[in-house]
């Protein structure tokens, strides 16, 4: 077990801000912080179990059909998450809509299965999944918080800005998602440049 496998997903190889993976859910569901967290948790679950299965069966899957096999494994876990959310948290399931099934084609999951779990030990794969999943989750939370704060003056439903603040509705609309993410990625670049 290596600590660096866990930590790399949190900052140095952050899935959203560094590798620009999994853009659809990142942009689509982060209208509020709570939606961001819900999507993040769903991705952690799917990523963890997919990497677990892929790392366990890597020796018996023929090379030519591996992508198809991985996709079916991922789709199975996504179906579990979807049914669970529908039964237990109908409101969140409604907010996220078709973006829950779209986790299947989220490039983070297939990407980590192919690039990491299919080549590494089971224990390291699980750490990698946790690190990447938690990294993805905080990335969504930050993006969702900024958009919710500027677009509605709240974070997690808590009023933070004074009531006479005029919400920038555009932040909740699609255009705001692109703009905020663009500036966040630029900020990350700048932080890296200061380090040098």
Partner 1 sequence: MENLILIFISTILINNVVLTYFLGICPFLGVSGKMESALGMGMAVTFVMTLATSISWLIYYLVLERFGLTFLEYVVFILIIASLVQIVEMFIKKYSKNLYQSLGIYLPLITSNCAILGVALFMIVKEYSFLESVVFGFSGGLGFSLVLMVMAGIREELDFADIPETFKGAPLTLITAGILALIFMGFSGLGGG
Interacting residue ranges for partner 1, rule: CB under 8 A: 20-21, 23-24, 27-28, 67-68, 71-72, 75-76, 78-79, 82-83, 97-98, 101-102, 104-107, 110, 170, 173-179, 181-183, 185-186, 189-190, 193
- The least CB distance from residue 51 to partner 1, in Å, is 17
Nearer to partner 1, 5 or 49 (CB): 49
Nearer to partner 1, 55 or 108 (CB): 108
Nearer to partner 1, 57 or 75 (CB): 75
Q: Tell how strand 154-155 and strand 158-159 pair up.
A: antiparallel
Q: How far apart are CA 5 and CA 48, in angstroms?
A: 14
CA distances from 43 to 93, 111, 161, 172, 181 (A): 14, 13, 31, 22, 19
Nearer to partner 1, 51 or 82 (CB): 82
Nearer to partner 1, 6 or 172 (CB): 172
User: Interhelix angle for 174-195 vs 122-152, to 10°?
Assistant: 120
- The least CB distance from residue 164 to partner 1, in Å, is 26
CA distances from 146 to 10, 51, 109, 149 (A): 19, 31, 25, 5
- The least CB distance from residue 47 to partner 1, in Å, is 15
- The least CB distance from residue 17 to partner 1, in Å, is 9
Q: How far apart are CA 131 and CA 123, in angstroms?
A: 13
- The least CB distance from residue 110 to partner 1, in Å, is 6
Single out the residue of 131, 110, 132, 146 nearest to residue 27, CA to CA.
146
């Amino acid at each position: 077990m290596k600590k660096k496998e866990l930590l790399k997903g949190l900052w140095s190889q952050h899935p959203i801000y560094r590798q620009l993976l999994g853009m659809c859910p990142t942009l689509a569901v982060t209208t509020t912080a709570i939606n961001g967290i819900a999507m993040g948790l769903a991705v952690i679950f799917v990523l963890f179990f997919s990497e677990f299965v892929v790392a366990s069966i890597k020796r018996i899957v023929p090379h030519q059909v591996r992508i198809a096999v991985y996709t079916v494994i991922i789709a199975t876990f996504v179906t579990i998450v979807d049914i669970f959310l529908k039964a237990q948290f109908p409101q969140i399931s409604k907010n996220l809509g078709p973006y829950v099934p779209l986790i299947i084609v989220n490039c983070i999951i297939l990407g980590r299965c192919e690039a990491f779990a299919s080549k590494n030990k089971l224990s390291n794969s699980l750490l990698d999944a946790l690190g990447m999943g938690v990294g993805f989750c905080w990335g969504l939370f930050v993006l969702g918080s900024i958009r919710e704060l500027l677009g509605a003056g709240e974070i997690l439903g808590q009023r933070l800005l004074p009531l006479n603040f005029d919400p920038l509705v555009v932040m909740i609309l699609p255009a705001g998602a692109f703009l905020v993410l663009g500036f966040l990625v630029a900020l990350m670049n700048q932080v890296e440049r200061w380090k040098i």
